[in-house]
Chains A and B, each alone.
Chain A
């Protein structure tokens, strides 16, 4: 058998128990002779007797230590006698009735005597206890809590479950309990509490166990405790205080947290699918809260000490546009000063440049780590754990959502479930019917066309936004403030010349020269020569002058200008609102075979659209705006502010028109429309888009998270109301955790990483504006760090390690190179480990299926043996009667026949016993490998299954570490 190699070769933890394993094996060798005994008839017609004999016959060598006296002194459980002595299959069931505490899995009620019970349970449990008793103390210590837990939970089951009054608690159960208490006594108080919490027993039983454990360790631990207290009293106290304060904080948080109730209501009516949208929203809100706190305390508060005077009046339109009186506030990049700030002449200096750079950097870094970890965790939980897509069983067994408590919702959920099940079943039946080639080609063609259409739409939208942004930008920047007056300068030349004209103008302005329109007019010739349009005749469409200057009412102009800035965000928001609807329509037209595919394809298309729109906008900001506008960071910040606000307004409008009006239409006008469903995917993608904008804005408008917080807060409530008033739960089952994983991934991959790239380029490569912001005067914002390092090198000699670290780690490509190599090596190592574990899982799965086959085979064998025994017995008794009646004739031949039959029976029974023995051994060895006492479902396959699960669990854990 390859079992042995398997024990020693595969599972590392098998080594821990290898000695016990051997012992078991040697012990196993002996009983085979005894095992045949019970079926020899002292009282062959009474299986109860035979099995109790089996108990007595068991050799004492097999049962070490305590188990011995248990074996001998075990009283027969009272209800054992009440069992029906024989049914058709009674024979193989008797073993169970003797063991009333057999764990949950194999306890057999008289009702289901189907003969399909596992026969290996008796030796199984023996071996199990044996090993755990033999185990050396260290090995016991090595046990994880999980083991104890499992054991305990099984013990608990047997106590609390299945029609066993307390009075009938057998010795066995008490034994289990004692063992559990022993194990608990060895744990530290904290661990013990956790284990007790995780027992699947009622409180009463838990309390009993706890008290017994306390009794057991009582005096000893009291001394110990005192000692510990003396040693580390302070640490304990601090720990206790910390925990208490945490508890109090949690209480406060819970009491002020207004959303638990809302979430409960949503969950109760719409189930976990819709709930996942709201929890995602809440999660993002926490993100923003964190970033707001960081930015506010490290960037904004210091800046308060160095505020200029803002005398632009507030007109109200600023709330929409973010410009006007908002421009010169701490809201935007441009307002921050580039020098060190001192609260008072004596106070320490606060280096604003460094603070700005490091705050954003640290926030981005912590976001990165947090996202990676939460992504890894949720991947681990949902995708890896699912493995092969689970089918009906999982769907059905886990389908009920206990969150739903609303009667109507329950009814709806039931109906949905039943239609889903019906659909699924009919799908399964139809599944074998293949599509014809023609149909398949047609289907592919339809998919292809719709991909082309959607990609074309995306590209079209991007191009449209690009050209629109440039045109819009030109319109805006005709208006220039100079020396307190507003000049409206209309650029009449060709658009290609616009940028160089603007540059010229700004150079003039920046050089401190008063912009005098009259002078400018006279200067036009020189500009023309600069633009190399002079000297050649004006083309047909070219105006004779490059600009015309119109004096206008400044306030009115200002309003117009602000309104004009809103155009671009509105266009973007319209695209974001309507194109996804178009995509959904396309998806419906495509008629996907699985709803799942439709959702995935929709998500891909929507993400492509949103991210390319953001990409085009970034290009516009970094290339067009950055090279033209004087304080371009502030301008970009304002643009982002507008985008965020307009996106907010449109999402409100969307929920008003898309849900409210739609539901009114559905309920009153045309009934076939029905009440709209809440489209989770589209809504979540909207959130991801909004969050991406907020992250981009972090550098340009550090307080943008505040707006985001307000926005998310309002959206939460509006969506909640709109949902409960207008929507019905989604008809399709929503695999919430799976989708949440995908959404977190999307938030990370195009969202966060894109933002990182953008900010990286801005910080390392792009020239900051010359006249505003914390980085004015630098070539790139990153230089602030190198300046700081140089300064510390000069001023503080004791900070040499900082300079050293900067030079050797941050500036050194070799360091990154090494780091990358190490990371790759670790990844490779883990990949290999995972591969190995996958292989092992596969082997174990094969093992389980073989085990199942073995079992059915043995059962069949057992049945045939039983039938044969029965028939031979009949023959035998018939013969005996015959012998009695006419004993004179050919007795010898009959005797021969009798012995032959006996031999046959013996042979059969022995063979059967050998079989069951072999099986027992396997079972035992598996359990030993795993950990003794780990799983006491007395089925070989059960324990192998548990082993496989444990292995897989480990495999999943590893990549996470």
Chain B
């Protein structure tokens, strides 16, 4: 398993195991991938951050329309540039793992979908979300009228207190009604 002379000490491993949902294998695997992304062997890997662009090249994220949001949400960089450290990476994997609860998953999903980081999904966020989902090309994009209709439908259904936005608990309410979410909100390395 850990034959590749990892720099992860035993204490670190067990600490990460304690703090995330990941198993030992997952963490070692993540470590391997992370060092590959760094493309050089660094002793001080814990303080190194991978730039957002580089991190998005990960095969698991490469095609994901939400990759930039994922980076931004999980990044703890002070500069808010979406750069990802090893621990952020583990955080991400933990939230996307099998054992993470619905609560956690929906929480992070909400943050990923909340494009302007204001704590609610408003019309702009939903528009962004739909555009992300349908892709940017002109033949797949929805027309203005369709978009408005769709957003209106969504708000009608999800916005329970009728304040024109979807907040976290409303979002979680919607999510709790679609059982497929847990299995689809998953990234396996």
Chain A residues with a Cβ under 8 A of chain B: 104-109, 111-112, 114, 116, 118, 149-150, 153, 157, 160-163, 165-166, 193, 196-198, 200, 202-204, 206-207, 210, 247, 250-251, 254, 260, 264, 267, 271-272, 275, 381-382, 385-387, 390-407, 409-411, 414-415, 417-419, 421-422, 425, 428-429, 735-738, 848-849, 851-853, 855-856, 935, 937, 939-943, 945-946, 949, 953
Contact = CB atoms under 8 A, between A and B. Distances in A.
B180 A272 contact: yes
A421 B162 CA distance: 23
Contacts of B81: none
B1 interface: yes
Contacts of B173: 945, 949
B180 A202 contact: no
B185 A418 contact: no
B118 A111 contact: yes
B3 interface: no
B10 to A, nearest CB: 14
A112 B103 contact: no
26 contacts: A105-B119, A105-B168, A108-B118, A111-B116, A112-B118, A149-B103, A160-B76, A203-B90, A251-B25, A271-B184, A390-B174, A392-B154, A393-B154, A397-B109, A399-B133, A405-B187, A407-B62, A409-B63, A410-B65, A411-B135, A414-B135, A415-B140, A421-B134, A428-B149, A849-B160, A949-B173
Given A204-B76, A251-B25, A272-B184, 6 more contacts: A104-B168, A393-B174, A398-B185, A406-B63, A425-B146, A939-B161
A939 B165 CA distance: 13
B52 interface: no
Given A254-B25, A386-B178, A937-B169, A422 B142 contact: yes
A400 B184 contact: yes
A397 B167 contact: no
Interface string B171-189: 1111111111101111110
Contacts of A160: 76
A394 B169 contact: no
Interface in B125-170: 129-130, 133-135, 140-142, 146, 149-150, 153-155, 157-158, 160-170
User: Which of under 10, 10 to 19, 20 to 34, or 35 or more describes the interface residues of B?
Assistant: 35 or more
Contacts of B170: 942, 945
Contacts of B155: 393
Interface string B15-49: 11011110111000000000000000000000000
A104 B177 contact: no
B184 A386 contact: no
Contacts of A429: 149
Interface in B36-93: 59-66, 74, 76, 78, 80, 87-88, 90-91
Contacts of A150: 103
Contact of B18 (A210, A385, A394): A210
A251 B26 CA distance: 11
Contacts, number: 258
Contacts of B1: 251
A118 B180 CA distance: 32
B179 A382 contact: yes
Contacts of A397: 109, 113, 129, 154, 158, 171, 174-175, 178
A7 B104 CA distance: 30
Contacts of A411: 135
Closest 4 CB pairs of A and B: A941-B161, A418-B134, A414-B135, A418-B140
Contact of A405 (B63, B90, B129, B172): B63
A939 B167 contact: yes
A306 to B, nearest CB: 45
A92 to B, nearest CB: 13
Given A272-B184, A396-B154, A852 B167 contact: no
A853 B175 CA distance: 24
A428 B153 contact: yes
A421 B187 contact: no
B180 A407 contact: no
Contacts of A254: 25
A379 to B, nearest CB: 10
Nearest to B86: A203
A402 B187 contact: yes
Given A210-B18, A394-B174, A399-B133, A425 B161 contact: no
A737 B183 contact: yes
B135 A415 contact: yes
Nearest to B23: A250
Chain A contact residues: helix, strand, loop or mixed: helix
A398 B133 CA distance: 11
Nearest to A250: B23
Most chain A beta carbons < 10 A, residue from B25, B109, B133 = B133
A59 B119 CA distance: 31
B96 interface: yes
Contacts of A410: 63-65
B161 A403 contact: no
Nearest to A154: B168
Contact of B177 (A165, A193, A386, A939): A386
B38 to A, nearest CB: 18
A200 B119 CA distance: 15
B169 A946 contact: yes
Contacts of A398: 174-175, 178, 180-181, 184-185
A418 to B, nearest CB: 4
A403 B96 CA distance: 10
A549 to B, nearest CB: 65
Contacts of B157: 390-394
B6 interface: no
A851 B161 contact: yes
Nearest to B26: A254
Contacts of A112: 116, 118, 120, 122
Contacts of A109: 116-119
Contacts of B166: 393
Nearest to B172: A949
Contacts of A149: 103
A193 B18 contact: yes
A401 B178 CA distance: 13
A64 B177 CA distance: 39
A103 B146 CA distance: 33
Contacts of B59: 405
A105 B18 contact: no
Contact of B19 (A166, A197, A738): A197
Contacts of A945: 160-161, 169-170, 173
Given A396-B129, A396-B154, A848 B161 contact: yes
A196 to B, nearest CB: 6
A382 B116 CA distance: 32
B179 A381 contact: yes
Most chain B beta carbons < 10 A, residue from A381, A400, A401, A737 = A400
Contacts of A111: 116, 118
Most chain A beta carbons < 10 A, residue from B16, B87, B129, B157 = B157
A200 B172 CA distance: 14
Contacts of A393: 153-155, 157-158, 166, 174
Contacts of A737: 179-180, 183
Nearest to B117: A162
A414 B141 CA distance: 10
A950 B30 CA distance: 36
A202 B91 contact: yes
Most chain A beta carbons < 10 A, residue from B135, B183, B185 = B183
A89 B184 CA distance: 40
Contacts of B187: 402-403, 405
Given A251-B25, A402-B96, A855-B161, A200 B108 contact: yes
B106 to A, nearest CB: 9
Contacts of B134: 414, 417-418, 421
Contacts of A200: 95, 104, 107-108
Contacts of A399: 133
A735 B153 contact: no
Contacts of A401: 184
